[in-house]
Each structure stands twice: as C-alpha cells, then as structure tokens.
C-alpha cells in the first residue's frame, strides 16, 4: 500500500505517533488510508450540507475495511461571484482545487480517494485531480436543489437573473422580483437546471467516475446519502481490483460523456472542462470532436434554461442511465467502458428505462436531430467558439447584424439596461478571455438582461469570455484566439457586420481580410486588469479557451 510509507516499519514510529495524537488506533492504521476531499463551506448552496455526504462516505469506507481521512478544499459560488470582480477568480479556482488535492494526497500517501463535490469548477477540478493522481477514486456529488414554484409555475435561479432585466424594461415590478427572489432556490443543492454544475455532475456519471444517480438525485433525498455510503464502499473495491481513473476515463469514456452532453443539452462550459480533464488523462480531445459527436447524437431532453424541465424531473424520468440506455440503442454509447461500480456501462444500464417520455424523448422523436452544443469556426474565431444551439430559437440559428462592441462585461450590461441595444444587433464583449479577463468570466447578467427585456430572440452575443450554463439565446462564447492574444475579435469595430450560421458551424466578420490584417498590425494589447496575486500569475500561464483554459 502507498500508505505504508507513512505508517509501516520501526522508522515510521514518529509518523504513527502523530496519527495517534489524532485518535487513530493501530487497527485503523493497518487498513488502507482513504483520502476524502471535502469542498463543504457556508457560501455555496450546493455545499452547505456536504458534511452530511462526507459522513456517509466515511461510514461506507469503514464498513468496507478502510480508514477515511477527510480534508478540505475551496469552492466558489458562481452565482454570488457573478457580475463583479469575483467572477474573474472562478475558472482559475479549478486549477487550485486540482493542485490542492494533488498536494494533500501525495504528501500523506493516501491509497485511494473519494472526492465530495458540487458546483461549477469544483467538479472538474476534482476530476482533474483524480486523473493526475491516478489513485482508485470515486466522485460523489451533493446533488441538485429542488425547483421553486411561483403561482403554479416552476422557477429557478435564472428566473431571478432574468427578472432583473424585466424590471429594467418595466415588464415586472420590484415587488414581483422580490417574490421570485424568495421562491427560486427553496433547498440546498446545485441550481436546479442543466447549468454547469449539474452538467458536470451528469458527465461525471457518464464518463464512469460517479455512481449511477450521481448526476440527478436531489440533494435533500435520502437516496443521496445512501449513494454516498455506497461510494465509500466502492472505492475499497476499486483499490482491491486496482481500477484507477485512467483505466476508466479512456477515449471511449470521453465519447460517452460527449454523447450525454449533447443529448441533455448541457452547458457550454463542459467543453472547457472535458478538454482540461482529457489533458490530465493523456487523451487527445479537440473542438472538432464535439461537432462530430453532436452531428450524430440527437438532443433528447429539454432542460432549463432552454426548456421547461429540471433535474428532479430528469431523475424521476430515469436519470442519466436511462438516457445512456436510449442512446445505446443506436450504438451511440460505448457499453464496454469500465466504471467505478466495477462493472461496464452496459451492465450498469441494462435494467434502466425511460419512465417519463415527455422528459426523456426517444431517438425517433428528439427535440433536435443534433446535440445541444455546436463549435463554430471562421475568421472571427479561427480556433473556434462554442454555442448551446439547443437554447437558440430557430430563426436565430442564422443571423447577420451590426456589431456593438464593448471591452468589458460592465460596459455591455450598462448599455443593455439603458436600452441602447436594438433588435438585430450582435453584442461583442472582448478582453474577457482567460488572459484578458483575466479568468474568462461567465456573463449571465448581460444574457439574462437581454432575455428579461425580451430581446433574446433577436440579439446575438459573442465573447472571448464564457456564458453561464444558465444562459439561453444566441450566446457564443470561448472565441479563440482571444482579444488579449491578438485574435481577430480584438479589432472588431462598431457597425462591422457579423454573420452567424450555426447549422454550417460558421461565424464570420464581414470585413476584408486585408483590412483585418491592417487593423491587427496597429493593435497592441492593453494592460492586464489584475497586476498582482494569483490571477496575475494565472494570466501569464493559462492557455486559450480553445485548449481548455488550462495552466501550462
């Protein structure tokens, strides 16, 4: 066992003495040491009850003959960090989470890991750590929150964000917004729609690193606690059988994750995260791969923000397993991939079925023939950009309009709330990429304001930053190369015509190539918006969004 290096032999008597100072017995020290990474805190709704999940994991580890050892890691609530400087730190926290788990696991010679997580950057950060360490590992989510209700209608956090825009345009009173604010998030858990947190929790299950149910069982359900106990027991089985993350997260497993991504209509942020996780595993994954999977994988679930269903509906309808079973009918899922159950995907899903066909549609009657995401290329984004096409109204799949250019999210949000954006416009927000932000902010406020003002069916947004998983409409993010790197988005001018053709995967700045080159020759990068501390270091080392925004 790896842990022998900190507990076995006469020369390790000082180490054992330190363990005994914490109350560990000789019997516990004879067992494998299982590290439990716990991202519980009092600032994220999806994390406030993770200690309960961790205690259940510990019970499972003890039952299966291991010794659980917990430690903490950080987490950022993207909703609370949204629309101010805090959001610049969100994506960068993913690397800190992965690094901190690596440091703890190696320094203390853990034999195996259970990583207890929830929410946007914490899930991929832990998956990156699992791949990097390659110790037997299970990922356990805290689960999604239940939806809120108001006047008989289901609402969620996005209802609040869009309500701000509705108040700004006079379509809603402040009192109505306050009522929505008090009703939208009724329980703990990750926000109730298919936003980034739940997208990544579902993909964790699809890629084989989470147990069946990990993506969809609501946070407040007893089944979530039982799942955590089972995870603690399963990690001991993985240790015995020497099943490690790199044996699970193979190229075929990433293909399964991408297929589920497309069928569910997941967040555009999954592209960044899957690419980052793939780099840790040594699997080659590029943007074209997402288009190839999207073109053959139908969109089967109409989830919020693009649709009316929420995570509790998907869970009752059969969850991720039922979607995988349906896709497997046309060999869109690799059933031979091993998972943390110790069994193959095919074995895991053999008894799964769709329990509610209005939530999970069949392959014969999908919501869309193609998957939820599309990667676009063109002279505005030579290295690609990403859109959630399943959340775009049909007539906006092709759009051409004048650019309205802003160098920060704040400038764009002010213009939108002031009514300066008109139907047909293409809002361009630049210098918000991984280097330029720095940190590649999610921009839920401008997209929600546009939706709340009733313009989401007529206005497109393009950015080298990111959009929230809660965004709907023609919102195109991750433009690469970003403005700070001298990408063409840096020289777009007010009034330039931009043409978007999502079906043909094209985004075009309708300016002569000679003129674009002349503008770029005159361009020079602005000063970094953060000059010291972690994000200044991050900006110097981070790759483009087209490469997963990983620190090199």
The set of catalytic residues is 468
How deeply is 345 buried, as exposed, middle or buried, from its count of CB atoms within 10 A (0-12, 13-18, 19+)?
buried
Residues recorded for the chain: 552
Q: Is the peptide bond before 305 cis (omega within 30 degrees of 0)?
A: yes
Q: Is the peptide bond before 138 cis (omega within 30 degrees of 0)?
A: no
Task: Check if the beta carbon of residue 287 is closer than 8 Å to that of residue 281.
Answer: no
DSSP string, 8-21: SSGGGHHHHHHHHH
Q: Which of 365, 367, 368, 384 is nearest to 376 (CA)?
A: 384
Cα distances from 194 to residues 146, 188, 284, 306, 390, in angstroms, run 12, 16, 26, 9, 12
Q: Where are the alpha helices (DSSP H) in 186-340?
A: 196-207, 222-241, 245-248, 251-264, 269-281, 287-296, 311-316, 319-328
3-state helix, strand, coil in the chain (%, to 5): 45, 15, 40
**CA pair distance 388, 382, nearest whole angstrom:** 19
**CA pair distance 538, 546, nearest whole angstrom:** 16
Partners of 489 in the beta sheet?
none
Task: Check if the beta carbon of residue 245 is closer than 8 Å to that of residue 130.
Answer: yes
């Amino acid at each position: 066992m790896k842990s022998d290096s900190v507990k076995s032999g006469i020369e390790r008597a000082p180490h054992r003495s330190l363990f005994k100072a914490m109350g560990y017995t000789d019997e516990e020290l004879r067992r494998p040491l299982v590290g439990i990474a716990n991202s519980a805190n009092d600032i994220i709704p999806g994390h406030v009850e993770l200690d309960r999940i961790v205690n259940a994991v510990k019970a499972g580890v003890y039952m299966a003959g291991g010794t659980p050892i917990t430690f903490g890691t950080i987490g950022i609530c993207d909703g609370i960090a949204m629309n101010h400087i805090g959001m610049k730190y969100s994506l960068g926290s993913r690397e800190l989470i992965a690094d901190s788990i690596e440091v703890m696991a190696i320094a203390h010679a853990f034999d195996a890991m259970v990583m207890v997580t929830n929410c946007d950057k914490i899930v991929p950060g832990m998956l990156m750590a699992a791949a990097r360490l390659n110790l037997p590992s299970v990922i356990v989510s805290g689960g999604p929150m239940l939806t809120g209700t108001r006047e008989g209608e289901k609402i969620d956090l996005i209802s609040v964000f869009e309500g701000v825009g509705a108040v700004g345009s006079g379509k809603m009173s402040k009192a109505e917004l306050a009522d929505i604010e008090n009703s939208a998030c009724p329980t703990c858990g990750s926000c109730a729609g298919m936003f980034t947190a739940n997208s990544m929790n579902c993909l964790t299950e699809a890629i084989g690193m989470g147990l069946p149910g990990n993506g969809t069982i609501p946070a407040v359900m007893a089944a979530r606690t039982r799942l955590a106990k089972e995870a603690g027991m399963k990690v001991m089985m993985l240790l015995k059988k020497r099943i490690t993350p790199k044996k699970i997260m193979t190229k075929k497993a990433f293909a399964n994750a991408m297929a589920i991504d497309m069928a569910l209509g997941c967040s555009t942020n999954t592209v960044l995260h899957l690419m980052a996780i793939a780099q840790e595993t040594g699997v080659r994954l590029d943007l074209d791969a997402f288009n190839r999977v999207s073109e053959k994988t139908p969109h089967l679930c109409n989830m919020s923000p693009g649709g009316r269903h929420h995570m509790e509906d998907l869970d009752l309808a059969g969850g991720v397993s039922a979607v995988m079973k349906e896709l497997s009918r046309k060999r869109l899922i690799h059933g031979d991939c091993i998972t943390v159950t110790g069994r193959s995907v095919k074995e895991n899903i053999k008894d799964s079925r769709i329990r509610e066909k209005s939530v999970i549609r069949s392959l014969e009657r999908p919501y869309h023939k193609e998957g939820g995401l599309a990667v676009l290329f063109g002279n505005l984004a030579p290295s690609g950009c990403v859109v959630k096409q399943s959340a775009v109204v049909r007539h906006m799949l092709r759009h051409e309009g004048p650019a309205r250019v802003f160098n920060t999210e704040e400038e764009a949000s002010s213009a939108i709330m002031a009514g300066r954006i008109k139907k047909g416009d293409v809002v361009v927000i630049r210098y918000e990429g991984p280097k330029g932000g720095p940190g590649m902010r999610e921009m839920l406020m401008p997209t929600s304001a546009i939706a709340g003002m009733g313009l989401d069916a007529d206005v497109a947004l393009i950015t080298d930053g990111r959009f929230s998983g809660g965004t709907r409409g023609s919102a195109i993010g991750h433009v690469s190369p970003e403005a700070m790197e001298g990408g063409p988005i840096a020289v777009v001018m007010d009034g330039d015509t931009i043409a978007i053709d999502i079906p043909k995967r094209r985004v075009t700045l309708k300016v002569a190539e000679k003129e674009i080159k002349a503008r770029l020759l005159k361009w020079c990068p602005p000063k970094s918006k953060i000059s010291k501390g972690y994000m200044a270091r991050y900006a110097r080392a981070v790759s483009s969004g087209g490469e997963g925004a990983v620190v090199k």
